[in-house]
Amino acid sequence: MTGTGRMKQRQLGTDGPMVGAVGLGCMSFSGMFGPTTEEASLVTMQAAVDAGITFWDTSNIYGAGTSEAVIGKFLKETGAKIVLATKVGIVRGADHFDNSPDHIRAELEGSLKRLNRDKVELYYIHRREQARPVEEVAETMAKLIEEGLIDSYGLSEVAPSTLRRAHAVHPCRAVQNEYSLMTRLPELGLIQTCAELGVAFVPFSPVARGYLTDRSISPTDFAEGEFRSLIPRFNEPNLSFNAPYRDALRDFARARGWTTSALAIAWTLHQGDHQIPIPATRTPEHLAEWLAAPDIALSPDDRAELDRIMPVGWAHGDRYWDSQAQKVERYC
């Protein structure tokens, strides 16, 4: 592996590989958080490798395969050794999910081709197709493991009950759901279930899609069509209601010599040793802002103050707009 990063490591589920304690979300390489270029993505990926970030997460639908393709180019050009996760299940250009064996296999073949890989270490069901028993889906993934096309499978945005059912058919390696100081739903059973079953919990958007950083977010900054422009918490009046909480977090981080994003990610790491957050970024500069997260030790007093600054349920506005919210499993 190129690079000399010495990031602390964590295990990706029971019997899984050791990876950097903080991973890399690769949705940004598709332009979904604003415009980017292939060159900028390649430079950012090299910075991640140099920092010891060895667990990367992408999807077949990010930029209609753009994210996978640029990762594949980077891997081919550099020979970097990473633990790679990609996802399947959301049908591009349609408003439904498909967890059928034929769809999963066909999409995996496309992903592997774009990624310049013979296999991926982790293959997620991006969204669950509710009409199809999850036991059948677990059997499909188990067959892909048996064939050597994937090392393990995972689930995304699911309820604890779904995880238990799938895990009983074939052990699940990881579950990823949105989780941050701003989005706390997984605390109502999913994090605990993952710990009980030996499944890694992978928080995506640990800095709340860029909100818990040292840069302010305004709807006027969003590129045309950017999906954050549809999210209620990023629009008024919710944006103004949320600002005092974010500002208090910034002040707390600044007083201790930390960046806000590093503190937000460190908080997720402190919620359990089985957690491996995957913040996304488009630039090496932003990546550098949160590299210190695994080295931040939060004292009991620090955590108590964070609970006071950002009590459970403080966020104004949902994390998804109504039609999108209907596509994730809700269990409370």
pLDDT of residue 309: 97
Cα separation of 214 and 259, whole Å?
7
Q: Which of 155-159, 233-237, 276-280, 290-294 has the lowest mean pLDDT?
A: 233-237
Residue 1 has pLDDT above 50, yes or no: no
Residue 75 has pLDDT above 60, yes or no: yes
Mean pLDDT score, 131-154? 98
Residue 50 C-beta-side C-alpha neighbours within 13 Å: 9
Mean pLDDT score, 130-143? 97
Reported as a single tens digit per residue, the pLDDT across 2-50 is 344 689 999 999 999 999 999 999 888 876 666 778 888 999 999 999 9
Catalytic choice (62, 123, 153, 211): 62
Reported as a single tens digit per residue, the pLDDT across 149-182 is 999 999 999 999 999 999 999 999 999 999 999 9
Tell me, yes or no, if 62 is annotated catalytic. Answer: yes
pLDDT of residue 4: 44
Reported as a single tens digit per residue, the pLDDT across 212-253 is 999 887 777 777 767 787 888 988 999 999 999 999 999 999
Residue 121 has pLDDT above 50, yes or no: yes
More confident residue, 217 or 277: 277
Whole-model pTM: value is 0.93
